[in-house]
Amino acid sequence: MPAAEATINTVRKTALNAVHRKLGAKMVDFNGWDMSVEYPSAGGIIAEHNAVRTSVGIFDVSHMGDIRLSGRDALAAVQHISMNDASRLAVGQAQYSALLYPQGTFVDDVVVHRLGDADYLLVINAGTREKDVSWVRDNTARFDCKVENLSDDFTQIAIQGPKGVELLQKLTDADLSAVKFYWLTRGTVCGLHDTLIARTGYTGEDGFEIYIPSDEETSTRIWNEIFDAGKEFGVVPCGLGSRNTLRLEAKLPLYGHEISDTINVLEAGLDRFCKMDKPDFLGRNALEKSRLAGVTRTLVGLEMIERGIARDGYRVLDEAGREIGYVTSGSYAPFLKKNIALAYVPPELGTIGSTVKVEIRGQGVSAQVVPTPFYKRPKKT
């Protein structure tokens, strides 16, 4: 067992930092943020993960960034910098999308929310906040559109799991049954008027994300009220550990792993969110070429056949032991109770049912290419 890693210099904290510490959370440095990784008092990562799959869990995701684009040319600006077709969004609707470099690789993946007629909110990743903000500013300068970095204005709380809707409904006058997945509304939440409530998340489950003022007092009060209201459902606080295993089971990409500035949209298999028939956008030309040329690697799901857990960065080998790719994310999957991974391999070696090896501490351990997502939530009956 190695010694515990040393703590680091200056890290950023969310408004709920003291709440996490009081709950006894294990904290880690995540992209410069002091974040909870798990709550041993709630049973740890596996218990947190399974609570979200079967009931409800709450996450502090205030480290996520927020960029608002508003004004006459807001739609044109969003269209120019993102790959999905924002013109299809009704007011109150959201879509998964991405910001691309001209070479078709990822600046970041984002959720675009249409707040009003010419008013869009882009929710971006914590680790890419500063880069994204300056990139958005640079690439929208020629549009008549205001760009605001609202990243520090919100405490963002995710309420995730099949019981999330019942939990949040107790605390708001908004009719949540009328809000479909990837739609949003505004309502009073715990007495806070005009709160943005989005039916979105990063867990593969139904759930909501609410955006409230980022002062410590309000944030703490709302977190605690959600927690208390959720007791009848067995709500648990959830950290980044379960957030990662949940999103992995659902094959939701993580920046720096499945997507990055060197991986393009087609390789990542995200072309269904990339609308080539919309007006021109950054990265489009490169993707057109890439599509004609074909990709040399593709993201596949692996399930370990032999004993072993594939981890990020491990090499993928063919049966003869030749290196053919690498693992982007891998873990024990707490709900599926299997060892799963995502990996880049050449398309011809990544067909479903084929077997590969993952190099784990010098040994080739067999894995099978399986359909993804590994987990899909059951349809409501």
Partner 1 sequence: MPYPNAFKYTKEHEWIKADGKSATIGITDHAQEALGDIVFVELPKVGAEIQKGKTFGSVESVKAVSDLYAPASGTVTAVNGELTTAPEKINKEAHEAWLIKITLKDPGELNLLLPAADYEKFVAEEV
CA distance 246 to 250: 6
90 binds partner 1 (CB under 8 A): no
308 binds partner 1 (CB under 8 A): yes
One of 104, 187, 241, 283 touching partner 1 (CB under 8 A): 241
22 binds partner 1 (CB under 8 A): no
Per-residue contact string for residues 256-285; x = within reach of partner 1 by CB under 8 A? ------------------------------
Q: Which is nearer to partner 1, 262 or 363 (CB)?
A: 363
- Is 79 in contact with 95 (CB distance < 8 Å)? no
Q: How far is CA 367 from the centre of its chain?
A: 26
38 binds partner 1 (CB under 8 A): yes
- Is 115 in contact with 183 (CB distance < 8 Å)? no
Cβ partners under 8 Å of residue 199, min gap 6 = 176, 179, 180, 181, 182, 183, 184, 206, 207, 208
Q: Which is nearer to partner 1, 6 or 320 (CB)?
A: 6
Instruction: Please list every residue from 351 through 370 that binds partner 1, using CB under 8 A.
Output: 361
DSSP 292-327: HH--S-EEEEEEESSS----TT-EEE-TTS-EEEEE
Helices marked H in 64-206: 74-81, 129-140, 164-169
339 binds partner 1 (CB under 8 A): yes
One of 88, 137, 142, 311 touching partner 1 (CB under 8 A): 311
- Tokens representing 124 are 């971006």
250 binds partner 1 (CB under 8 A): no
46 binds partner 1 (CB under 8 A): yes
Number of residues binding to partner 1, judged by CB under 8 A: 22
CA distance 220 to 279: 44
DSSP 211-232: EEE--HHHHHHHHHHHHHHTGG
Q: Which is nearer to partner 1, 42 or 124 (CB)?
A: 42
305 binds partner 1 (CB under 8 A): no
Instruction: Please list every residue from 112 through 131 that binds partner 1, using CB under 8 A.
Output: none
- Is 345 in contact with 288 (CB distance < 8 Å)? no
3-state DSSP assignment of residue 378: coil
Q: Which stretch binds partner 1 (CB under 8 A): 43-51, 72-80, 224-232, 369-377?
A: 43-51
One of 128, 245, 328, 329 touching partner 1 (CB under 8 A): 245
Applying CB under 8 A, the residues found at the interface with partner 1 are 1-4, 26, 37-38, 40, 44-46, 241, 245, 307-309, 311, 331-332, 334, 339, 361
